[in-house]
Amino acid sequence: MRNRSVGIIFGSLVLWGVITYFLFLDQPSGKDQEKQNKLSNQISRLEERVKQQIAVNQEFFQHIEENKHSKKLIEKLTITRTTIATPKNNEQHESNIKQQLLEKNDYKEKWTDFKDFQQTTKAEGIMKSKKSLPNGDPIIAVLVFSCNRITVQRCLDQLINLRPSAVQFPIVVSQDCEHQQTAEVISKYGDKILHIRQPDQSDIDIPPKEKKFKGYFKIARHYGWALNQVFFELGYETAIVVEDDLDIAPDFFEYFLGTYPLLVSDRSLWCVSAWNDNGKSGLVDEHAPHLLYRTDFFPGLGWMLTRQLWQELAPKWPKSYWDDWIRQPEQRKNRACIRPEISRTRTFGKIGVSNGLFFEKHLKFIKLNEKSVPFTKMNLTYLLKDNYDVSFMNEVYHSTVITYSELKSGHIIIPGPVRILYYTRLSYKNTAKMLGLMDDFKSGVPRTGYRGVVTFFYNGRRVHLAPATNWSGYDITWS
């Protein structure tokens, strides 16, 4: 194209020169004046067109020079899009791209350019985020944390078998610890999952008093890296965090799909959890698996968050005890989570960094839901803050006040929900222990608490363990 343009310019200039030469050497007679005028007009028009063509071609040549690099980027973007369209794992992505570049006998330079281009496009937000399917349904990544448990197979089998769509719920298994047996188990799933590995296996500088809690430091480091991968490297907008020792309910995915619109529309929410901390058999209404609640206590153990939240938390992510950290007022900012009446997850991992803490006395008794609930077909707007606060607080503080003894005896004549009052940290803990509830506080918030109220089911009745009506907020000193 460039040679053709040069030829046009050269030919035009020659033609213009010849015509000008004959015009000035040949003196026209009076009779030829009219012809001369016509010829002059034609020459003027030709001269104008030549000037315009010169200007256009100069601009064209400049554009070519300026876009040499852009052309390279476009070629690389095409490679990137092709790779993203059929994801298997990061190593295979890079292998495919390397092969394409090697075929052009220019691997070293172009591979470096490609890596630079990746960083540029991520920074500028050019790479298309994985947000929704063509029909508008959300794409939600499932991030499975793994370390050295070969029983991760139990968790992965359930996730793969129960997910309604591999495209809508891509599974990313992030492995720490470099445990070869676990890695072999994960690799057997092939392209059904994406297997990524925490590259930082360096030793962690831990204060002497916390040496025995080294595992918590490694977990926090792993969480931070893996969430960065899912949201910033892989480009997902929403993710469900699962650990490798969790069983899931048949309606696990339906639960998160149904609550997804709440999470993205209500700014007073910051997570949806599949876990009820007080969800033991005998403390939940097994005939009401559809019931959902708001809670000020971050439950974890199968929870959904958005990239927007991670962008907020990532810069200040802690070195250890991430779950306690995330429950602090500075992170929570008065936001709540959705939690179910009956848990959609249950842990089978007795052995871990917590050395079985709470497992024998509590965790192994958690009831896992068995009846599927069509959450996506239900109206869940009652969980939006403005709706929920009015109805929930009316129910709690219009319910009849009773004592623990009356509840225990079961001789309550009045129908409907009842309320047991607590005024101090000690009175709460004593009552919670008698009822079989978890009695601890995190940043002053009791487990499953919402505006200080802990709701559960006991002897066939809905019960609210609640503070006085003049409650003014959580007291962080109660932790």
Q: How many Cβ atoms are within 10 Å of 421's Cβ, its own excluded?
A: 16
**Which pLDDT score is estimated for 90?**
46
Phi-psi region of 105 (alpha: psi -120 to 50; beta: other; left: phi over 0): left
CATH 3.10.180.20 residue spans of the chain: 394-478
Structure pTM?
Answer: 0.74
Burial class (CB in 10 A: 0-12, 13-18, 19+), 205: exposed
* Cα 41 → chain centroid: 70
The single residue of 137, 285, 323, 439 carrying the catalytic annotation is 323
pLDDT in tens, 276-316: 999 999 999 999 999 999 999 999 999 999 999 999 999 99
CATH 3.90.550.10 residue spans of the chain: 129-367
CA dist list (Å): 299 to 47, 218, 326, 332: 79, 21, 10, 12
Q: Which residues of the chain have pLDDT under 50?
A: 2, 6, 22-25, 28, 31, 56, 59-61, 63-94, 96-98, 100-128, 355
**Which pLDDT score is estimated for 356?**
59
Is residue 165 within 8 A of residue 135, CB to CB? The reply is: no
Burial class (CB in 10 A: 0-12, 13-18, 19+), 335: middle
**Which pLDDT score is estimated for 349?**
77
Is residue 91 within 8 A of residue 199, CB to CB? The reply is: no
**Which pLDDT score is estimated for 104?**
38
**Which pLDDT score is estimated for 34?**
57
**Which pLDDT score is estimated for 336?**
98
Domain 129-367 of CATH type 3.40.50.170: no
Q: Which CATH architecture best describes the domain 394-478?
A: Roll (3.10)
The tokens of 47 are what? 């001269």
- Active-site residue flag, 203: no
**Which pLDDT score is estimated for 411?**
86
**Which pLDDT score is estimated for 352?**
58
